[in-house]
Amino acid sequence: MSQFVKICELSDIPDGELYHTVINDSRIVLANINGTVHASSGVCTHDDADLGMLNDDRIVCPVHLSQFDMKSGEALNLPATDPLLIFEVKIEDSSVLIKI
């Protein structure tokens, strides 16, 4: 059964920034893109490296520079071909929650 879990406060993720967390041993990253928060798995599907750079609405793997669309999870260039897992996000008051 899936449920929403509080991750952080909205103020913890300034516009254009990332927020990394671990839930149930899974690495997750949240990105504030133009005031909208998106959440995905936090590791590259090609190399299991932590995703760590945000470029507009794309998150970039620092190892081989694969890029993923933070809104859809789609892998946008090689060597990654598999998409990221995307989580539903909702904001309640000033809290950021994701559905797991």
Domain of 89? 4-99
pLDDT score of 38: 98
Residue 20: per-residue pLDDT: 97
Q: Which residue has the higher pLDDT, 69 or 2?
A: 69
Long-range CB contacts (< 8 A, 24+ apart) of 86-95? 86/38, 86/39, 86/40, 87/28, 87/39, 87/40, 88/4, 88/39, 89/30, 89/37, 89/38, 89/39, 90/4, 91/10, 91/37, 94/9, 94/10, 94/11, 95/6, 95/8, 95/9, 95/10
Q: CATH number of the domain at 66, please.
A: 2.102.10.10
What pLDDT band is residue 86 in, cutting at 50, 70 and 90?
very high
Q: What is the pLDDT of residue 98?
A: 98
- pLDDT at residue 89 tops 90: yes
Counted domains in the chain: 1
DSSP annotation of 11 reads G
Q: Is the pLDDT of residue 79 over 80?
A: yes
The pLDDT tens digits of the residues spanning 1-52 come to 789 999 999 999 999 999 999 999 999 999 999 999 999 999 999 999 999 9
Q: What is the mean pLDDT of residues 59-81?
A: 97
Contact by Cβ (8 Å): 3, 87: no
In degrees, rounded to 5, the angle at the alpha carbon of residue 98 between the alpha carbons of residues 73 and 4 is 140
Question: At which residue do the structure tokens 């993720």 appear?
Answer: 13
* pTM for this entry: 0.95
